[in-house]
Amino acid sequence: MRCYRGRDPITSQHLEVEVDGGVITEVRPWLEPSGDLWLAPGLIDLQVNGYGGIDLNEDGCDVAAIARLTRTLAAAGTTTFLPTIITADIASMSSRLRSIVHAREGNRDVANAIPCIHVEGPYISPEDGYRGAHPVADVRPPSLEEFDALQSAADGLIGLVTLSPHWPGIEEFIHALRARGVVVSLGHTHASPDEIHRAVDAGATLSTHLGNGIAAMLPRHSNPIWTQLAEDRLTAALIADGAHLPADTLRVMLRAKGVERSVLVSDSVALGGITPGHYHSHIGGDVTVYADGSIRMRESGLLAGSGITLNDAVARAPMMSGCTLGQAIRMATSNPADVLALKTGRIAVGAPADLLLFHWKHGDTSLQIQEVVRGE
C-alpha cells in the first residue's frame, strides 16, 4: 500500500490517495498541505499516431516499438491512449491493427494503457484540404464488410472510428457501428449541415480535431465547423498546441461547446519530440519539423499531425483559452473517459490508480512531472 499527496486541480482540495494493488482504495483530505504539487488522474489521449520516432502507421512498427511508445507516453503523463491507425489499403491497416493486438497480448502495461483503437479513415472526404495528410488513393466509401474485416484483425479492439458523413448510406453505417459498440466521430469532412445533423441523429457523438482536417477557405456561414460547434450532441476533440488552433479560435470553441463537451487530444505523430529539420514521414510524405514543434507538409504547408504530448496541451490550454488548470485536466481525463465509458480518468475509490503528480504555473508550456503512477 502506498499514499500519494497533492492538490487536486479540479477541486483545489489537498488530497491523500491510498493505493493498493494498482487500485485506489481511499481518498481523504490531506490535513497538512505544503508546497505546490498537483495531483491528478493520468491523462487520456484519444488520438496518438506515434511519437519519439515511433510510427504506428509504419509497416515496421512492431510489438517492441509499441511497448516503447507506451513507456514514453506514460513518462509524459499519458497513462491511457488510443493508437490511431489512419487511411491506407486494407492489408496495411489490418497488419498495423494486428501489431497492436500482439503488443497488448504480450505486455500487461500496454494492455492497461490501450483500452481500444482509434481508426481515422479510410471513410473520410477525398477532397484536398478536408482530407489533410491522408493518401487520396486509399480514401473510399464506407463498407461494413470491410470494417468487420478490420475489426477481426483488431480482435474486436476498434472502439472509435473517424469518418465523413457525406457518403451515401452513412446513416445505416453509423447505426451498424454503434450496434457493434463503436464510438463514431466526425472528421476530415466537407459534409453539409444536413448531413452532419443526420449523422448525429444516427449516433455520432464526437468531432475529431475540430477546426482541422478541413479546407483553408470555407463559406463564412454554412460550413462543417459551425455546424459541429452548434450541435450540442457532439463533443469536440481539440488540439491545443498553438499551431492547429490559434488561441482565439480555441477560446471561442470552448465557449461554444463548454468544457463539459470538450476533449483535449495530442494527435501526435512519430516526428513529435524530434530535432527540427526536414524529414520523410508516412503521414504527409516530405515534411518539416519546426522549432515550435509544428509539423507541416513541405509542399503544401498543411499540418501533418502534431509534435506535442497531451501534457503539453493541458499546460498550454489555460494560457491559450483562459480556462483553468482544473478545466484543462478535466478535458484530458474524465471527459475522454466518458466518451469511451472508461473506469479511468478520475480519482475515486475503486478506480485504477493512474495518477499524475506535477508542478505547473501559468505560462508553462508543459507540465513539470514529478511522478507517474500506473494502475491496473
Per-residue pLDDT reduced to its tens digit, 314-369: 999 999 999 999 999 999 999 999 999 999 999 999 999 999 999 999 999 999 99
pLDDT in tens, 143-165: 999 999 999 999 999 999 999 99
Between the alpha carbon of residue 241 and those of residues 105, 133, 145, 206, 245, the distances in Å are 33, 18, 37, 20, 7
Give the chain's radius of gyration (CA, Å).
20
How many structural domains compose the chain?
1
Which of 3-17, 49-63, 293-307 shows the lowest per-residue confidence on average (mean pLDDT)?
Answer: 293-307
Q: Which residues of 30-53 are buried (b: 16+ CB within 10 A; e: fewer)?
A: beeeeeebbbbbbbbbbbbbbbbe
For residues 63-88, give the mean pLDDT: 98
Mean pLDDT of 79-105: 98
Residue 201 lies in a domain: yes
**Is 287 part of a structural domain of the chain?**
no
Among candidates 111, 113, 93, which has minimal Cα distance to 103?
111
- In a domain? residue 309: yes
Within-domain flag for 292: no
For 76, phi and psi rounded to 5 degrees?
-95, 5
Assess contact for 264 and 252: CB atoms under 8 A: no
Half-sphere exposure of 27 (CA within 13 A, CB side): 20
Please tell me the predicted confidence (pLDDT) of residue 43: 98
Q: Is the pLDDT of residue 284 over 80?
A: no
Residue 200 CA to residue 308 CA, distance in Å, equals 30
Determine the pLDDT at residue 340. 97
Which residue is associated with the grid cell 509539423? Answer: 295
pLDDT for 171 equals 98
246 and 271 Cβ atoms separated by less than 8 Å:
no
Give one DSSP letter per residue of 21-89, joined into a string: TTEEEEEEE-SS--SS-EEEEPEEEEEE-EETTEETTSTT--HHHHHHHHHHHHHTTEEEEEEEEES--
CA 325/CA 139 separation, integer angstroms: 39
| Mean pLDDT value of segment 233-260 | 97
Q: How far is CA 345 from CA 16, 63, 223, 356, in A?
A: 17, 26, 33, 11
Copy the grid coordinates of residue 364: 508553462
ω into 318 cis (within 30 of 0) = no
In a domain, 328, yes or no: yes
Is 28 a domain residue? no
Task: Quote the pLDDT of residue 280.
Answer: 86
Q: Is the dihedral of CA 140, 144, 145, 149 positive or negative?
A: positive
Instruction: Check if the beta carbon of residue 196 is closer than 8 Å to that of residue 167.
Output: no
Q: Which domain holds residue 49?
A: 42-274+304-344
Answer yes or no: is pLDDT of 376 > 80.
no
Question: Can you give the pLDDT at residue 48?
Answer: 98
**Do strands 277-281 and 285-289 pair parallel, antiparallel, or not at all (unpaired)?**
antiparallel
Per the domain annotation, does 279 fall within a domain? Answer: no
Banded model confidence at residue 244, pLDDT cuts 50, 70, 90: very high
Given a contact cutoff of 8 angstroms between Cβ atoms, the answer to whether 120 and 187 are in contact is yes
Q: Quickly list DSSP for 276-325.
A: SEEEEETTTEEEEE-TTS-EEETTT--B-SBS--HHHHHHHHHHHH---H
Q: Which residue has the cell 493518401?
A: 135
Pairing of strands 14-20, 2-7: antiparallel
Give the bridge partners for 55, in sequence order.
Answer: 50
CA atoms of 75 and 9, how far apart (whole Å): 20
Mean pLDDT along residues 81-93: 98
Report residue 281's pLDDT band, with 50, 70 and 90 as the boundaries.
confident
**How far is 318 from 53, CA to CA, in rounded Å?**
29
pLDDT score recorded for residue 297: 83
**CA–CA distance, 54 with 68 (Å, rounded to integer):** 8
Q: How confident is the model at residue 285 (pLDDT cuts 50, 70, 90)?
A: confident
Spatial separation of the C-alpha atoms in residues 238 and 262, rounded to whole Å: 7
What's the CATH code of the domain at 80? 3.20.20.140
For residue 4, is it within any domain? no
Residues 54-72 pLDDT 10s: 999 998 899 999 999 999 9
* Residue 183, pLDDT score: 98
Per-residue pLDDT at 294: 86
pLDDT tens digits, one per residue of 202-224: 999 999 999 999 999 999 999 99
Cell of 39: 495531483
Higher-confidence residue of 264 and 303: namely 264
